[in-house]
Amino acid sequence: MKRLEVTTETATSRRAFCQQACHAASLAALGILLPGCGGGNPAGPSGGANVPQLPQLTSTITGGVFTLTIDAASPLNTVGNAALVNASGRGFLVARTGNDAFVALTSICTHEACTITGFQNQRYVCPCHGSVYTLAGTVVSGPAPRSLQTFGTSFSGGLLTVAAG
């Protein structure tokens, strides 16, 4: 009968293997249990589908500005409405805050640079992790760490001009 010898080296290798396997299994289980960034936020990725999307407009930046015609057909015709504007490949959130007052912001979330496309209850909602901003761009709820960048606006004769920097 042959005798199986277990050396110290073999036992150490098995022990190391078992420890590594246990660590990997623990990390995998922990990853499943912990919520992702913004977890539990109803406006986050799983709940973001219920957030109405902003109407989209297109413009062109010329000389550091872009313009939008605000007429009866424009989604910005009514105070309190907002739109996502693609101007020469850059995204802007534009909201009408008064009869002759508008606010223009970057559409790029300050958390992980997702484009903000949701709008609900006079708030902008990022579809990626659920950050919520006011019409002025201030963070209402994160994970966004700071407010959105603002751009100057002027409105005259039905033409909105935005200083796009």
Listed by start position, the domains of the chain span 48-163
Q: State both tokens at 95.
A: 């909201």
State how far the Cα of 161 lies from the Cα of 63, in Å rounded to an integer: 12
CATH: 2.102.10.10, 1.20.120.80, 3.30.420.40, 3.30.360.10. Which one for 48-163?
2.102.10.10
11: part of which helix (H) or strand (E)?
A: helix 8-33
Q: Are 133 and 107 in contact (CB under 8 A)?
A: no
Q: From the first residue on, what is the mean pLDDT of each consecutive set of 10 residues in the chain (165 residues)?
A: 55 56 44 36 46 90 94 94 93 94 91 87 88 90 86 94 90
